[in-house]
Amino acid sequence: MLRFAGRQLMHLIVVLFGAVTITFVALRLSGNPVDALLPANATAQERQTLIDQLGLNRGIADQYGRFLGQVVRGDMGNSIINGQSAIREVAGQIGGSLVLAGLALAVAAVVGIALGMLSAERRGGWLDRLCRAAAAIGQAAPSFWLGLILIIVFAVRLKLFPASGMGGARYLVLPVVTLAIAIVPYVMRLTRTTMLGVLDAEFMRFHKAKGLRPAVIIYRHGLKNCLPPVITLLGLQAGPLLGGVVIIEYVFGRSGVGSLLISSIYNRDYPVVQVAVLVIVAVVVLANVAADLAVAALDPRVRLGGRAA
C-alpha cells in the first residue's frame, strides 16, 4: 500500500509539473498577453511597464525558468486590482468552492449509484428506461443553463430557494443540485453497466446458491464489486466538476475560486488567474490520486500491481 502511495505521489508531482507548464504555455504563448491585459487605449509606457513586470522581454527559456522558480517558492505575484498577494486572494476563496464541489460530488455519488443499481436490477423495465432517458437529457444540457432554469422555477416562480448570493444552507441547495445533475448521468450509467457485469459473475451465483436473500446479494456483494470503477470515475469527475463550479458560482452569484477566476479574467488580473488555475488543477489531480488510493484500498488486485476489473 505504501509503495502504491509512493507511486501515486510521483505521478502527482509529474502531472502538476506538466500542468504548470501548460499554464505557462497557454498564458504566454497563445498570444501577446500584453494586448489582452491592457485596455485598448493604453499608452506605450504602460505597455512597456507591463512587459518589464511580466518579464516578457526575456527569452522563453528564461521566462519559463523564472516561472517555475516562482511556483516552487510560492511567490506568484500580487493582484493587479488590489495589490494583495495572488495566493492569499485565492486561498481566501478556495474553502467555499471545495464545500460546494464536495457536496455536489457526494450527492451525485449517492443518487447516481442508487439509480444505477436500481436500473441494472430492473433492466429493461420502465424505471430503467426512465433513468436512461433522464441521463441522456442530463448529459446533453449545459450545466449553466440547468442552473438558470432551476433559478427560474425554484427561486423566481416557487420562491422556495434564494436565486443567488451567499448565506446559509438554503443558498447551497440549487447550486449543489445543478452540479450534481451534471455528474449523476455518468455515475448512473457506469454503475449500471458495471452492475450488469457483476450480476452475471459466478460469485453472485454462489451467494444465491448459499441461500442469501437477493437484496443482500445485490446491495452488499454486488455493490462492493461495482464500486472500484465508480470511485475511479468519481475521481475523474473532479475535473468537469470544478469546471462546473467555476461557471455555477458565476451563475448563482456565489463567491469562490470560480467567480474569482472569471472576474479576474474580465479584469485582466493575470497573476490571480494563474494562481486560481493552478490551484484548481492541483485539486483535480489530488482528487484523482485520492480515488486511486481508495480503489487500491478496496481492491487488492490494484495495489498488488494488477489491473482493476
Contact residues for another protein (CB under 8 A)?
A: 14-15, 18-19, 21-23, 26-27, 30-31, 33, 35-36, 121, 123-124, 136-137, 139-142, 144-146, 148-149, 151-152, 156, 163, 185-186, 189-190, 193, 196-197, 199-202, 204-205, 207-208, 217, 233, 236-237, 239-240, 242-243, 246-247, 250-251, 261-262, 265-266, 273, 277, 280-281, 284-285, 288
Closer residue to another protein (CB): 26 or 106: 26
Nearest approach in angstroms of CB 187 to another protein is: 9
Closer residue to another protein (CB): 57 or 139: 139
Nearest approach in angstroms of CB 95 to another protein is: 19
Closer residue to another protein (CB): 176 or 183: 183
Nearest approach in angstroms of CB 287 to another protein is: 10
Closer residue to another protein (CB): 199 or 223: 199
Q: Which residues contact 65 (CB under 8 A, 6 or more apart)?
A: none
Nearest approach in angstroms of CB 58 to another protein is: 18
Closer residue to another protein (CB): 86 or 284: 284
Query: Is residue 121 a contact partner of residue 218, using CB atoms and an 8 Å limit?
Result: yes
Alpha-carbon distance 132 to 36, whole Å? 44
Query: Is residue 180 a contact partner of residue 138, using CB atoms and an 8 Å limit?
Result: no
Q: Which residue type does 204 have?
A: M
Alpha-carbon distance 225 to 300, whole Å? 12
Alpha-carbon distance 291 to 294, whole Å? 5
Closer residue to another protein (CB): 11 or 58: 11
Question: How close are the terminal C-alpha atoms of the chain, in Å?
Answer: 18
Nearest approach in angstroms of CB 75 to another protein is: 21
Alpha-carbon distance 74 to 139, whole Å? 38
Q: Which residue type does 4 have?
A: F
In the three-class reduction of DSSP (H, G, I as helix; E, B as strand; rest coil), residue 78 is classed as: strand
Nearest approach in angstroms of CB 30 to another protein is: 5
Fill in the DSSP letter of residue 28: H
Our CA angle for 252, 95, 288, nearest 5°, is: 100
Nearest approach in angstroms of CB 284 to another protein is: 6
Q: Is 83 left (phi over 0), alpha (psi -120 to 50) or beta?
A: left
Grid cell for residue 17:
509539473
Nearest approach in angstroms of CB 229 to another protein is: 9
Query: By CB neighbour count within 10 A (0-12 exposed, 13-18 middle, 19+ buried), where does 161 fall?
Result: middle
Closer residue to another protein (CB): 41 or 200: 200
Closer residue to another protein (CB): 68 or 201: 201
Grid-cell match 466538476, residue found: 241
